[in-house]
Amino acid sequence: SGVGLSLVLGFGVAYACYYLNSIAKKPQLVASNDRFCRFLEEYCPVVTETYYPTIWCWEGRVQTLLRPFITSRPQVQYRNELIKTADGGQISLDWFDNNDSSYYPDASTRPTVLLLPGLTGTSKESYILHMIHQSKTLGYRCVVFNNRGIAGEELLTPRTYCAANTEDLEAVIHHVHSLHPSAPFMAAGVSMGGMLLLNYLGKTGRDTPLMAAAIFSAGWNVFESVESLEKPLNWLLFNYYLTTCLQSSISRHRQMLEKLFDMDLVMKARTVREFDKQFTSVMFGYRSIDDYYEDSSPCRKLKSVGIPVLCLNSVDDVFSPAHAIPVETAKQNANVALVLTSCGGHIGFLEGIWPRKCTYMDRVFKQFVQAVFEHGNKIFSM
């Protein structure tokens, strides 16, 4: 027993040393604008502090897989609104009005955060619920943009959504701003929602009612993302499941979509690339899957972003490989700051022994949103 105890203690010490020396690290902050850097250091200090991933599940794939099952799901009471689009479709918005806000009792000036979920995500995703919980404590209002046909509403036209086409997002931003024109307004996008938001910002530059934006786990180069996801282990763990989720999201709209698509062929896809080739790229009129992926990749539009944007990625995210993160491009735009952690996976960022409540991503979101709404004048003159 004494030998066994010594082995256990020795292993524990060795593991702790390895963890502290190789796993727990400060994130890399990439920003060319000194004022933006100082702003983040003062009002969003979490981006300069050591990130201590959960000691028993720090690897990227493990964090990605476990987060949906480990993290809690805060209770949120939504108010749903369906808005019409120019082409005859409809978009489902889920509002958290926060009418009990003691910090901002006047609804007309209550800060508003627009939230964009991931590829097949909705307002029910745990990471969205946590963002709303963080916003609630600060007194802010939130509205979740659910992509067409994915949150239970019917498709009125044979059209869903993609990362490149920003028309629906533009309509939502205009609608929310028109309802509360005096309220400070920013947005946060996760995964594909972050890609869509970046593509919108690259298109609009400074011509947007948004004050700033936060981006989490965006896929910067879609070619590199799908190639990474098609590696055998990643296909088994993520790609096939994602493909079935995409197919499931459109299957209940089959009668509407069969007017334009060979749905039997679409349902035979076994990778995200095959699904996009047979369905998404065709729906939005691209000549080829390569044309669609080029237009969807936010790295191509990052130079044109005209408002302050904070982007959090982990370098071990198989959805967005480290070599595809546009570090050099980000350095050419004073409005952009990248925060790169060594661990965290895709929308993982688990921390603490039992990471049920708050993740590193949640803390970055809370601090940056609060910094923008309460001290944003210090960066808007950039």
Q: What are phi and psi of 314, to 5 degrees?
A: -105, 140
Q: DSSP strand E in the chain: where?
A: 28-31, 79-84, 90-96, 112-116, 141-146, 185-190, 213-216, 309-314, 336-341
CA atoms of 273 and 269, how far apart (whole Å): 8
Q: 51: which 2 tokens? A: 């990130």
CA atoms within 13 A on the CB side of 220: 25
In the block, tokens 């533009």 appear at 170
Q: What are phi and psi of 325, to 5 degrees?
A: -75, 125
Q: Are 212 and 189 in contact (CB under 8 A)?
A: no
Q: Which long-range contacts (CB under 8 A, 24 or more apart) does 269-276 make?
A: 269/243, 270/240, 270/243, 271/226, 271/229, 271/230, 271/235, 271/239, 271/240, 271/243, 272/226, 272/229, 272/239, 272/242, 272/243, 272/246, 273/226, 273/230, 274/243, 275/243, 275/246, 275/247
Phi-psi region of 172 (alpha: psi -120 to 50; beta: other; left: phi over 0): alpha
CA atoms of 128 and 191, how far apart (whole Å): 12
CA atoms of 189 and 214, how far apart (whole Å): 6
Q: Are 119 and 191 in contact (CB under 8 A)?
A: yes
Distances from the Cα of 105 to the Cαs of 100, 109, 111, 141, 373, in angstroms? 7, 9, 11, 11, 16
Q: Are 116 and 216 in contact (CB under 8 A)?
A: no
Any idea which residues carry the catalytic annotation?
191, 317, 346
